[in-house]
Amino acid sequence: MNATTSRHIVLTGATGQIAPLVVRHLAAHHRVTLTSRTPRATTQRPGVTHVACDYDAPESLVAAFRGADALFVVTNEPTRPEHDRNIVRAAVDASVGHIVKLSAAAVHDSAAHDLVTTWQRSNEERIKKSGIPWTMIQPRSFMSHALAWASSIRSRGATYALHPHSRNACIAPEDVAQAAARVLGDAEHHFQSYQLTGPQPLSAHEQSAVLAELLERPLVCRALSRAEAHARYSRRYSPTMADALLASAERQLAGAKARTTDTVERLTGRPTTTFAAWAADHMDRFA
């Protein structure tokens, strides 16, 4: 299909961060279906339909996916791998034309054996065996993770991180979304894997300095111990997820997440967003 061909594009994860951003970058002539457990209107745009479907109910997935030229797959529960199996099964039953999977750059790291990475590897392998043309979008950590500091920045003038001087080539979610929109339903990108990074590796300490400059106030980046970091992760995630995040932080300390790619620029035709530019666009969340 060429760029002017109208496609039916279905996106899972409508209430998440990436899928609504992808919709913003899809051409207006495409028919778009956003799916989530509850059909909440997360994006207001002509031609966009919101449909309820349940990852535990394969029949609802088949109904939502039927007639899709391309399907954007986002899942966030590595402890529920049946969700991923149900999505791929439904995509096959619904004769989906193309699957674009939001995965992770860590799948290429031979030293990464944590829960999240092994789950994403399994997801990719399942899709590759489905018989449906596929494209993998494999980003580094999102710059938006810095939003977790917003409360402590406001109340204590501080950010907190395990290994605050270790670097990650983090990426703006908007760049991930635009890259995904570029490849959805485009046969030129069938059977390709794209590792996406930001333009430079940054540490939590360096990100904090950028935020301090934009906010025009001093910020201190405080180091967390492993126990403190695990306790923080455990407030939001299961113990196995908290362990996976600790393992990920150790790989970052070893330099596994510092490499950059030019993939965003090649796919979108524009420079990759810097952390300073991303933060400036989201200052209302920190101020």
DSSP 138-206: EE--BGGGGGGGHHHHHHHSEEEEESTT-EE--B-HHHHHHHHHHHTT-GGGTTEEEEE--SS-EEHHH
- For residues 100 and 180, is the Cβ–Cβ distance under 8 A? yes
Q: DSSP letter for 274, please.
A: P
Within 10 angstroms of residue 39's Cβ, the number of other Cβ atoms is 15
Give the distance between the most distant pair of CA atoms in the chain: 56
* pLDDT for residue 43: 67
pLDDT of residue 1: 44
pLDDT of residue 44: 67
Non-local (6+) Cβ contacts of 128 within 8 A are 134
Question: What is the H or E stretch that residue 221 is in?
Answer: strand 220-224
Chain centre to alpha carbon of residue 283: 21
Q: Buried b vs exposed e over 180-212: b needs ≥16 C-beta within 10 Å?
A: bbbbbbbeebeeebbbbbbbebbbbbbbbbbbb
Taking alpha carbons only, the member of 226, 137, 229 closest to residue 178 is 137
Model-wide pTM > 0.85: yes
* pLDDT for the residue 42: 62
CA angle 191, 263, 105 (to 5 degrees): 70
pLDDT, tens only, 147-171: 999 999 999 999 999 999 999 999 9
Distance CA 99, CA 185 (A): 8
55 DSSP 8-state letter: T
Residue 6: what pLDDT? 85
Task: Show the low-confidence residues of the chain (pLDDT under 70).
Answer: 1-4, 39-44
d(CA 275, CA 277): 5
Q: What tens digit of pLDDT does each residue of 41-93 get?
A: 666 677 799 999 999 999 999 999 999 999 999 999 999 999 999 999 999 99
